[in-house]
Structure formats: C-alpha cells, structure tokens
Amino acid sequence: MPSLENITDDLDVWLYQQFGATATFLIESVLIALLAIGLFSILGLVLIMMERKVSAYMQVRLGPNRVGPKGMFQTVADTLKLIVKEGMTPDGADKFLFNLAPFIVMIIAMVILAPLAFSKGFQIWDINIGVLFITAVSSVSVIGILMAGWASNNKYSLLGAMRSGAQIVSYELSAGLSVIAIVVLTGSLRMSDIVASQENGWWLFKGHIPVLIAFVIFIIAITAETNRAPFDLAEAESELTAGFHTEYSGMKFALFFLAEYVNIFIVCAVGATLFLGGWMPLHFGTNTQFNHVMDYIPGIVWFMGKTFFLIFVIMWFRWTFPRLRIDQLLNLEWKYLLPISLFNLLLVTLMAIMGWHF
C-alpha cells in the first residue's frame, strides 16, 4: 500500500547516521513543529475559502470572485489585513491574560495534532492512549476561552465565554461516549490500532445501527464543541456582538479565528479515524479484487478525503439550520443526546461481548 512511512523512516535513519541520537531528536522536533505550523497556516486559508464557497453554493450565489482566479486569494488578502492591523487592548482588561488566551487556544489545537495518523506510519506520536490524550487535551481549550472572556472586561465577552464553557463541558459527554463506543469495539486506545481494526471494513459499516447512532451523536456533539452554527451561542452576533473575542483585533483575533477552523479539522480527522477508517482504504472483507484496487489510492488521500467530507457536512449544518437558544442547546444535550448515548454504549458493549459485529 502506498504510504509516507518509508519517507519518515529513511529520513530518521539518515539523520541518525549524520548527527547522532540527540541531534536527530532535536532536528526532527524542529521539523515537526515547522510542518505543524505550515499545515495550520494552509488549513486556515483553505477552510475559510471552503466555508465561503460552500455558503455561496448553499445560497445560490458566487461568493468571493474578485481577488485572484475565482476569488481564491481572498483569504490571503484578509490574512495580510489582519497582520498589519493594530492589536488593541481595552482599558481595564487584564493585559497578561488577555494576550495569553489566544495563544493557549492555538497551542492546545497544535498539541492535539500529535496522535493523529495521516497515513501508515506518518504520525507524530503513536501513544498507546491516543484517544484519551485527544479528549483530555481538547477539554483544556475551554480555559483559554474563559480566560479571554473574563480578561476582556466586557459583559458580552464574559457572557459568551460562560456560554461556551457550559456548551463545551456539556457536549463533551456525548462526544466522549461516542468515542468510547469505538474503543469498546476495538479494545485499544491507540489510534493506529483503531485504524488497523478497520482493515476488513470501516466501523460505520460493520458496527450496525449502534455505531451509526454513535456517529450521528458524535457529529452533532463536535459541531457544538467547536461553537459552530446552529450551536454558535458563544459568539451569537445578534446577541453578543462577537462573543468571547469581541475585544480582540489584529493577529490575536486571527489566532482565535484560525484555532476555530483548525479545531474543526482535528475533530473531523478524529471522526474519520474512529468511524471511517482513517487512512485505511475502503475494504469489504478480505482479499477481494475491489480491495486491491482501493489499495492503489494513497492513505493520505483517503484520510484527507474523509476529513474534508465531514468538514463539508459541518459547514452544511451552518447554512441549513437556524440558531438555537441557549436553553434549547442545553436541553438537547442533557435530556436527549446524553441518555441516548448512555443506552447506545450499553448496546455497543453487548454487541462487542457477543461478537455480533462483522
């Protein structure tokens, strides 16, 4: 199967022969950091343009069409504007926490990237508790949001941050239970093991109706966790101006904006790995002619294709459903999604014990 594994292995061997173990570790750490920063920068540009084009398609209009061919350089122009724009700090704000908050949100997004397997062997850190690592670290991002809202010394910012905290903490429960359903079926928290368990079929197909229910709940929960419409109560423009980042401008605002889209990519990548096989090609059973044809498509293409499909679905939600009220949002989680997730986890556990999945 075509893979990026040989590239990373060959580079590691060459660096070790040239510089020794310690220098190799330092050089590889710097390379990984540069690649992560580059990936985030490109993702920001691509996903914002994708958002604009998807919204235009949903509303039967053109979207950006002036800067560059078919408006493709519009996001570059917006980025340059944010870079040269002055960053303002309001009077009465806690300057240290106000300036620290966007960096915390961005750094957490970068740390979550570590266990994700982009292709076979192309992974920063194949930790044996990869799923737990992602869920644990991602929950810390709410601290940055609360910090931004409180430090801004603005009632709208504080209200948006409190809404975001309640929303993220609530929907993490359903998202976590959906993730645990796949962990129960796989028997491992390691991301590479979860991908390998789907060699003869993705869990979405071979896990029957309980896994389908877990997948639907997961998509709803991650939409709420990333503060996306129809769950964008934390930054509801008609009520709170811009929510927790009302007082931010320039590059600090750009970091919040970038972190939102990077988080969308990460949660969709996690969903693609757990339910759709990650980089694993579409296989039905073993040793079929269809499987051999699918193996010719590189793993990175499968991974990115599945991830961007889920991103499109989340963007589809935004331009289809009206915004909920905050009480409706919390009722949906505590009265419906959480009980369904708990009961569904029991079904998945029974299915795993009895071996009823394919």
Q: What would the pLDDT profile of 125-146 be if each residue is shown by its tens digit?
A: 888 898 999 999 988 888 888 8
Residue 239 has what pLDDT? 66
Residue 1 has what pLDDT? 45
Contact between residue 156 and residue 238 where contact means Cβ atoms under 8 Å apart: no
pLDDT in tens, 51-81: 999 999 998 898 888 888 888 898 889 888 8
Query: Which residue in the block uniquely carries the two structure tokens 């789907």?
Result: 198
Residue 237 has what pLDDT? 65
User: Measuring CA to CA, which residue among 272, 96, 309, 95 is closest to residue 194?
Assistant: 272
Average pLDDT (286-297) is 81
Q: Which two tokens stand for residue 125?
A: 């850190």
Average pLDDT (7-20) is 82
Tell me which H or E stretch contains 134. helix 130-138
Residue 236 has what pLDDT? 67
Local structure of 123: helix, strand or coil: strand
What is the spatial distance between Cα 32 and Cα 25, in angstroms, rounded to a whole number? 10
Local structure of 118: helix, strand or coil: strand
Residue 343 has what pLDDT? 95
What is the spatial distance between Cα 259 and Cα 276, in angstroms, rounded to a whole number? 24
Average pLDDT (279-293) is 81
What phi-psi label fits residue 92: left (phi over 0), alpha (psi between -120 and 50 degrees) or beta? left
**Phi–psi pair at 324, nearest 5 degrees:** -80, 160
User: Measuring CA to CA, which residue among 298, 303, 264 is closest to residue 44?
Assistant: 264
What is the spatial distance between Cα 182 and Cα 14, in angstroms, rounded to a whole number? 38
Residue 2 has what pLDDT? 44
User: Measuring CA to CA, which residue among 307, 32, 228, 270 is closest to residue 132?
Assistant: 270
Rounded to 5°, the CA angle 275-213-114 comes to: 30
Residue 4 has what pLDDT? 65
> DSSP character for 232?
-
> DSSP character for 63?
-
Partners of residue 119 on adjacent β-strands? 122
**Phi–psi pair at 117, nearest 5 degrees:** -100, 105
pLDDT in tens, 163-222: 888 888 899 999 999 999 999 999 899 999 999 998 888 899 888 899 999 999 999 999
pTM score over 0.75: yes
What is the spatial distance between Cα 308 and Cα 24, in angstroms, rounded to a whole number? 33
For the chain, the first-to-last Cα distance in angstroms comes to: 23
What is the spatial distance between Cα 110 and Cα 108, in angstroms, rounded to a whole number? 5
- Per residue in 309-342, is it b (16+ CB within 10 Å) or e — as a string? ebbeebbebbeeeebbebeebbebbeeebbebbe
Average pLDDT (320-329) is 86
Residue 94 has what pLDDT? 87
Locate the DSSP E strands across the chain.
117-119, 122-123
Per-residue CA distances from 323 to 164, 236, 288, 327 (Å) = 15, 9, 46, 12
pLDDT above 50 for 354: yes
What is the spatial distance between Cα 92 and Cα 62, in angstroms, rounded to a whole number? 43
